[in-house]
Amino acid sequence: MRDVGQISVAETAALLAIKPETVKTRLHRARGLVRGSLHGQLGLGFADLFPFDGARCEPLADRVEAALRQRRAN
């Protein structure tokens, strides 16, 4: 619902009668399962398709975390 239908977390939670946190957790797990399945089918080249550049992503993650802290404070 989230990825294919572009439905918000809140709407998905309401439709499934579950908490928004559960929606996020299930989506995270489902993406991992899809990634694992694709990796099994595509083999070792899969990591090249979806690289994770920790050094480049870390500053972005820090900014998101700071914004969330600020939002909670307000």
| pLDDT(73) > 80 | yes
Structure tokens, 58: 């870390």
pLDDT of residue 47: 62
Where are the chain's structural domains? 9-73
As given in the structure block, the two tokens for residue 43 are 């083999």
| Mean pLDDT of all residues in 27-42 | 82
Tokens at 45, concatenated: 């080249």
Tell me the C-alpha distance between 55 and 61, whole Å.
10
How far, CA to CA in Å, does 30 sit from each of 23, 26, 39, 65?
A: 10, 6, 14, 23
CA 32/CA 15 separation, integer angstroms = 23
Q: What is the pTM of this model?
A: 0.54
> Is the per-residue pLDDT at 53 higher than 80?
no
Give me the mean pLDDT over the 40-61 stretch: 67
